[in-house]
Structure 1
Amino acid sequence: MSRKLEDLDRIDRQILRILQRHGRLPNVELARRVNLSPTPCLERVKRLEREGFIRDYVALLDPLKVHAGLVVYIQVTLTDTATEALEAFNEHVSNLEEVQECHMVAGGFDYLVKIRIKDMLGYRRFLGEKLASIPGVRETHTYVVIEEVKTDTAVAVPDPEPKAKGSKR
């Protein structure tokens, strides 16, 4: 049975919040933090994984240590926005390892792309040899990040809605 966020109780939501920040936290410690014994806690984690609330566990790397300290946002405008052109762009950009995020947007351009790269020379090469060479790319506008004020991978998990008086749910 696939559940929705509304079906998760306070403890499930606490587990999600904690594991977003501390994915390698031992189950015994997680159980202690949510006031459960280890077995029911592990059962909840496994259920949250099965139901797709938890997709994966990853290591977060220090971008400077792996020579990817420069963050660049690129507005991309395509020559054509027919379904086939969009799908072709999506496939090309999905295969570029420097791309961290790519979003189709509504407004004055078609895509907003976020990359991490070593330096401006690396960006120039990426733009000329990779992004601008994708068929259908008409125009790009570049925004180089001067300072990262907040970077976070966590998704906000809201508290459960208070139940209405007389509600059976």
Structure 2
Amino acid sequence: MTISLDRTDLKLLRLLQQEGRMSNAELAEKVNISAPTCHRRVERLFDAGVIQSVRAVVNPQAVAKGTLVMVGVVLDRSTPESFSEFEAAVVQIPVIIDCQLVAGEFDYFLRVRVNDMEDFNRLHASHLIALPGVRQIRSFFVMKEVIDNSPLKF
């Protein structure tokens, strides 16, 4: 379902990106609409898939996942079957927090959250190199996260 977004919808989206725990009453007040109207608009945004989910952002260090590794993956073949096999396997590895099919030198980029380099080494040896169709893996340890999960600007 595609919907047209007006100025009020965009303001609702910006506010919810900043503070997803904001109550409907607070949100309605900030947008200058009634609470029932606000609720209907937000539900419409969910139903249309504009808002995909609301969740907490957890501090990775607090749950022993403070090391971020970017992993470039090159597959043996560039076929729909090899992509499907790889994607089906990669979603089974919980520490992979993002996986994107890309154009260029690599086929995929993965973002991996682990405790430390030793933890990543175990993951690499036991899971990453065993992923179907993998020809090459290049790992990049993130030294500093300058921007992480920034809200969309519109």
With normalisation by structure 1, the TM-score equals 0.87
Please give the alpha-carbon distance, in whole angstroms, between the structure 2 residues aligned to 1:88 and 1:17: 37
Instruction: Quote the offset at 1:135 in angstroms.
Output: 2.3
Give the structure with higher Rg (CA).
Answer: 1
- Output aligned runs, 1:2-41, within 5 Å: 2-4=1-3, 7-41=4-38
Deviations 1:116-166 (CA, angstroms, capped at 9, x unpaired): 11000000011110110112111111110011111125222x2xxxxxxxx
- CA RMSD in angstroms comes to 1.1
Please give the alpha-carbon distance, in whole angstroms, between the structure 2 residues aligned to 1:117 and 1:61: 14
Match of 2:100 in 1: 103
- For structure 1, the residue ranges without an aligned partner over 5 or more in a row are 159-169
Do structure 1's residue 119 and structure 2's residue 129 form an aligned pair?
Answer: no
Q: For 1:19, what is the secondary structure of its paired residue?
A: helix
With normalisation by structure 2, the TM-score equals 0.95
Length, aligned pairs only: 154
User: Out of 50, 54, 73, which is 2:51 matched to?
Assistant: 54
- For structure 2, the residue ranges without an aligned partner over 5 or more in a row are none
Please give the alpha-carbon distance, in whole angstroms, between the structure 2 residues aligned to 1:94 and 1:153: 23
User: Out of 79, 92, 95, which is 2:76 matched to?
Assistant: 79
Instruction: Quote the offset at 1:24 in angstroms.
Output: 1.4
Do structure 1's residue 154 and structure 2's residue 146 form an aligned pair?
Answer: no
The code of the aligned residue for 2:59 comes to D
Q: Which has the higher helix share?
A: 2
The code of the aligned residue for 2:80 comes to T
The code of the aligned residue for 1:89 comes to F
Please give the alpha-carbon distance, in whole angstroms, between the structure 2 residues aligned to 1:130 and 1:67: 19
Q: For 1:116, what is the secondary structure of its paired residue?
A: strand
Deviates more, 1:102-111 or 1:117-126: 102-111
Please give the alpha-carbon distance, in whole angstroms, between the structure 1 residues aligned to 2:48 and 2:76: 40
Deviations 1:66-102 (CA, angstroms, capped at 9, x unpaired): 0011000011111112111110000111111010111
Instruction: Quote the offset at 1:108 in angstroms.
Output: 1.4
Identity %: 34
Structure 1 residues 23 and 8, CA gap change in structure 2 (3 angstroms): same
Match of 1:63 in 2: 60
